[in-house]
Amino acid sequence: MDTNRLLLIMGLFFVSFLIYQAWQKDFGPKQQSFQASGTPVQPADSTVGPAPAGQPTTQTDGLPSPAEGQTQSPPPVSANAVSTQPGKLIRIKTDLYSMRINLNGGIIEGLKLLAYPLEQGKLDKPFPLLDNQPPRVYMIKSGMIDAKRQSLPLPGASFEADKDRYDMGDKKELTVALTWEGENGLQVTKRFIFERGSYVVKVEHQVVNGASGPWTGGTYVRIERDFVKKSGMLPTYKGAALYSDEHKFEKIDFDDIKSYKSHHRSQIRKDIQHGWAAMLEHYFVTAAIPDKDERVTYFTDTNYSEQNKDNNRYWVGLVTPQKRIEPKADQTYAVRLYMGPKLQNVMVNVAPGLELTVNYGILTVISDPLFWLMNWIHSWIGNWGWSIVFVTLIIKLLFYPLSAASYRSMAKMRTMTPKVQVLRERYADDRQKMSQAMMDLYRNEKINPLGGCLPIVIQIPVFLALYWVLLESVELRQAPWMLWIHDLSTRDPYYILPIVMGGTMFLQQKLNPPQMDPTHQKIMQMLPIIFTLFTAFFPSGLVLYWMANNLLSIAQQWMITRQIEQASRKKT
């Protein structure tokens, strides 16, 4: 086996890897939900009938309600119990957010990230992370739910705010308070607490019991969004995720959620301590994070139906343990929301495992140090493109002994080309004798025909790990390199990098031992063209790495080949 053939194998391996990723999304094993006891959950459908006027909506999913005073969490609220109704909007602006809140339920139904423009250079058009403009629906709902599964405030009831617009200005913190008071004496104050420079928003529900009897309930958060189609060439994950100490990071995509619905199991539920629930897309994440000491019920659900495909919604969320509030007493329930970019160095300090939403898959153990190295280099030079080049150089230096051994083996085989050609002509009619004669030749010349393969095979996981780093890192979104490369996370608009990369592959072939088999030779000649077309739609940052790696390999291989050929000429 020679390097040309190995390059073809590497290409097939890489394509197979991408196919495997796509297969896992469509046909991979589905995760099963478990209760705290470890038994599979078989929840019934959550259905909500029309409520009498002025009465709270109650879930009737057939599951027993927890006894008054217990700290058990009730089953998650259904879609109808907290459905979005037209209501008055208030607007909030901080140093990082532009937010819309619907006072009917206090729902976050609009959120723009001011530091992340939708299009490069257009800061006046920030990226809309959350929105409620069908067909795109992506919002966060939260509120209270009591032991009888009644939501609070009552469905259709609105909070009140003291003004329509809030602006953080130069302040370090901004608190937006919404109030609601029911006829039964219960009062709820919902506070959104923003801190300057933070993508974490604290949401508090303070319940004051003005009734004559005790009230028991907990708070819920539900992240809801429309269906998101899977991307083709770039298989980034989009869907729900849960985290727990026991199972760590678990992805539950839309098909998983839908499969439970189609089998008449409307919800996946898990009781988790030290966890969080999130909805992920390529570079951004929204996560609900409860108090770390509480054991919380997490759930997913959908309103999916074949008759309503254009209005399908999927959600993930949590319900906190219930607490008993005596008459004339009050209780505050708090959760945190992370709504923003997947910045690993930020998320690692927000909640355990939240940085895993930057999903490198099975190669995380390699990808993490590669990202750390690239980020450290960027802190010095301030350019992500050159950071990729320097990471490539460092990787090349680390693998230099292996690469050198590979290139020496290929160079020695190259000097044996005339002798190999003689053997092919001598034993043209007897392939077994020809193979034996070639092995004897390699043994006498102390050449290992496999010596050029293993070092390159070892580097394949590193290449794939860096592929995921460049694909998943929001830091590279809209990051320029130089000249015409204005965004390393997208393809080269003029296809110059893929063409240059293909040219470097062609030069590498010229340094390798020539192919004796005409058919094999034609395949190898097509390989640079195939890879040029294949990488034309890759992120330019990945093609930059590949090109830089090829150029460094060409320089190293040319130097070693020249040394070997000079030594061979001296012997003759």
- Tens-place pLDDT, residues 302-327: 887 766 666 788 889 999 988 999 99
Considering only CA atoms, which of 3, 9, 6, 10 is closest in space to residue 513? 3
Report, as an integer, the average pLDDT of 6-28.
49
- Are 205 and 327 found together in one domain? yes
What is the pLDDT, as a whole number, of residue 168? Answer: 94
Q: Specify whether 316 is located in the same domain as 461.
A: no
- Partners of 288 in the β-ladder: 277, 337
pLDDT of residue 561: 67
Q: Which of 359, 383, 404 is the last residue of a domain?
A: 359
| pLDDT for residue 88 is more than 50 | yes
Q: For residues 200 and 262, which has the higher predicted lDDT (pLDDT)? A: 200
Question: Tell me, what's the pLDDT at 72?
Answer: 45
Which of 359, 387, 413 represents a domain boundary (last residue)? 359
What is residue 279's predicted lDDT score, i.e. its pLDDT? 94
Cα–Cα distance, 364 to 355 (Å, whole number): 11
| pLDDT tier at 22, thresholds 50, 70, 90 | very low
Same domain? 272 vs 381: no
Residues 361-369 have a mean pLDDT of: 86
362 vs 107, residue with greater confidence: 107
Which CATH number do you get for residue 152? 2.70.98.90
- Residue 84 CB-half CA count within 13 A: 25
Residues 218 and 314 in one domain: yes
CB atoms within 10 A of CB 446: 7
**pLDDT for 266-292, tens place per residue?**
567 788 888 899 999 889 999 999 987
- Whether residues 350 and 410 share a domain: the answer is no
Neighbours of 541 (CB within 10 A): 28
Identify the pLDDT of residue 14: 55
Question: Could you give the 3-state DSSP secondary structure of residue 138?
Answer: strand
How many residues would you count in the chain? 572
* CA angle (197 as vertex; 193, 199 as ends), nearest 5: 60
To which residue do tokens 């060409």 refer?
Answer: 554
Nearest CA to 155 among 110, 106, 223?
106
Residue 384 falls inside a structural domain: yes
Pair (401, 354) in one structural domain: no
- Within a domain: residue 2? no
pLDDT value at residue 90: 95
Q: pLDDT band at 50, cuts 50/70/90?
A: very low
Are 261 and 398 members of one domain?
A: no
Q: Please state the φ and ψ torsions of residue 475, each to the nearest 5 degrees.
A: -60, -25
Residue 162 lies in a domain: yes
The confidence band for 73, taking pLDDT boundaries of 50, 70 and 90, is very low
**Do 409 and 344 have their domain in common?**
no
Domain termination site, one of 327, 359, 391? 359
Q: What is the mean pLDDT of residues 67-96?
A: 61
Place of tokens 């009730």: 74
Asked if residue 17 belongs to a domain, the reply is no
- Give domain status of residue 51, yes or no: no
27 inside domain:
no
Can you give the pLDDT at residue 446? Answer: 65
* Per-residue confidence (pLDDT) for residue 207, from 0 to 100: 92
- Please indicate, yes or no, whether the overall pTM of this predicted structure exceeds 0.85: no
Which one-letter DSSP state was computed for residue 182? -
Kindly tell me if the per-residue pLDDT of 203 is higher than 70.
Answer: yes
What is the extent of the structural domain holding 422? 368-571
- Asked whether residue 29 is assigned to any structural domain, the reply reads no
Burial of 77 (0-12, 13-18, 19+ CB in 10 A): buried
Mean pLDDT of 521-544: 78
Convert the pLDDT of each residue in 143-154 to its tens digit: 988 877 777 776
For residues 392 and 329, membership in a common domain is answered with no
- Please tell me the distance from the alpha carbon of residue 11 to that of residue 512, in angstroms, as a whole number: 17
Asked, for residue 58, whether it belongs to a domain, the answer is: no
Under the banding of pLDDT at 50, 70 and 90, the label for residue 164 is very high
Query: Residue 38 region, left (φ>0) first, then alpha (ψ -120 to 50), else beta?
Result: left
Q: Are residues 408 and 529 in the same domain?
A: yes
164, 289: one domain: yes
For position 517, what pLDDT does the model report? 55
Look at residue 452 in the predicted model and tell me its pLDDT. Answer: 54
What total of structural domains would you count in the chain? 2
Do residues 125 and 178 share a domain?
yes
